[in-house]
Amino acid sequence: MGDLTYRFTALESYETDFVEIPSDQYLQEVLCQMIQEYSSNHSPINIDFRKLIHWLRAGDQLTHHIHPYPAKLLPHIAYFFLKAHSNLLDKTVLDPFCGSGTVALEASIHGFKPLVADANPFALLLTKVKTTPYNVDKLIEVKNHILKKAKRYKTAPSIDVVNPDLWYLPEHKKKLEILLRAIEELTADSEQAFFKICISSLTKKISFADPAISVPVRLRTKEKFSSAVNQRIQKRLDWIKEADVFQEFNNIVNINIERIKETNNKYPNRLSAKKVGVDARSLFSDYDQLIAMPDNSIPLVITSPPYGSAQKYIRSTSLSLNWLKLASPSQLRTLEEKSIGREHLIRAPFQYDEGDLPLEYVDLIKKIAQKNETRARITQKYLIEMAQVVKELARVTSPKGRIIFVLGNNQVCGETLRNDKFIIECFQKYHLKLKLVLIDDIKSRGLMTKRNRTASVISRETVLVFEK
């Protein structure tokens, strides 16, 4: 494999206050060099996007960290491909698996029009808030109004949360409900969305869920832990019990307002993300999902679809979904059934030849089924649905348009699932050309790289670049 990171050693001044940032044209040339190198030897190129785009600070920046979210795409990847395509006449970018909104935010601040879809309504809400250039003074005024009301209210409608006694002190839950009542009384939808994201952060912060695990797991001290670890856990548990809910809400809102302010100052003309669907297999040009997205209309797609057997997407946001009334506890399973890369399937007769998958993958599913039929059915469903996604993306992508797919390979019950090979074959079926394959090692991006005892750890990401 080739390695292109050495070409940037002369620019590595990111430890200083001044950072030399290459021009968009320079990054366009780098991408062209990558494509030429891949064309000559058809060998994947090793790349470290953190070093490649070293001037982009890791950690909390702009509105990227306005709310925690599992398995977020590295902003450096979105930044690179957006800048490398900044010469497009039609600066529209589509992310049909928008998740936390990383691609949408990077697109928004760099002059692109972001179009997004996702099966998780919380993801769509978060992406909307991240990309909206709010009036900061108005947010401060509304925050004070919310707190004033909340301190006056004695009661509020009860919110149906899964296992509330497991996650919350009764007095904390009551105050959260009062805050939510005050927020829901706001008349402006966009402002209501911002404060809902803030209270969602609060519901995670003061819950007894372990903050180090993406899915809700009760935080407890355990004998197998070291004394130091148990002391840290007990300290957090004690803090939760003493937490001032209203004050913590105020703190979270203030921090998020500062993020909005910073983003506004740097990128005052950014565009808010536009929702174009809730299913990557069916995209629309209008919010109400009545008009199908036109054929050959999207010049650039950048997305990171769910990985098979890698992440519990709905479960990880279940508390937020409950609190914001986007899905009640009884509706979580139904919502998951609508999601690609799901954990569970409704029981049905298992047919190996379902979905007209290539024989190689039918054989793989048979091998998995010999060990665990449930995992085999989930894997089969994932591949069938991803093939449908590819068909839709091939339809809407414009001639000479590009699709950047970020995904990982993994094992299911000891059998290797080559997601990259499968996606390549799917796109080639619709005559899209594979222009480039990049390999980047995963370095703690909030990705739960091992989901259960039948899945493996994903240690590398593959970036595939297709052209129509």
Distance CA 336, CA 120 (A): 8
CA distance 212 to 446: 9
Comparing CA positions, the residue from 215, 267, 247, 275 lying closest to residue 61 is 267
Phi then psi for residue 449, to 5 deg, are: -75, -10
pLDDT in tens, 384-424: 999 999 999 999 999 999 999 999 888 888 988 899 999 99
Token pair for residue 204? 């995670």
Full set of structural domains in the chain with CATH = 2-120+270-467 (3.40.50.150), 136-206+243-266 (no CATH)
**Per-residue pLDDT in tens (0 to 9) along the chain, 468 residues:** 445 543 443 334 333 345 678 999 999 999 999 999 999 999 999 999 999 999 987 666 899 999 999 878 999 999 999 999 999 999 999 999 999 999 999 999 999 999 999 999 999 999 999 999 999 999 999 999 999 999 999 999 999 999 999 999 999 999 999 999 999 999 999 999 999 999 999 999 999 999 988 889 999 999 999 999 999 999 999 999 999 999 999 999 999 999 999 999 999 999 999 999 999 999 999 888 999 999 999 999 999 998 765 557 788 999 999 999 999 999 998 898 888 877 666 666 778 778 889 999 999 999 999 998 888 888 999 999 999 999 999 999 999 999 999 998 888 889 888 999 999 999 999 999 999 999 998 654 444 434 444 444 456 889 999 999
Residue 296 and residue 399 in contact, taking contact as beta carbons nearer than 8 Å: yes
Tell me the C-alpha distance between 404 and 12, whole Å: 26
Residue with the two structure tokens 């499968």: 422
Q: Which two tokens stand for residue 335?
A: 């919502």
Report the distance separating Cα 264 and Cα 40, nearest Å. Answer: 44
Tell me the DSSP string of 267-280: -TTPPPPEEEESBT
Is residue 55 within 8 Å of residue 14, measured between CB atoms?
Answer: yes
> Tell me, what DSSP letter sits at residue 191?
H
The predicted-structure confidence for 304-356, as pLDDT tens digits, reads as follows: 998 765 557 788 999 999 999 999 999 998 898 888 877 666 666 778 778 88
- Residue 57 CA to residue 55 CA, distance in Å, equals 6
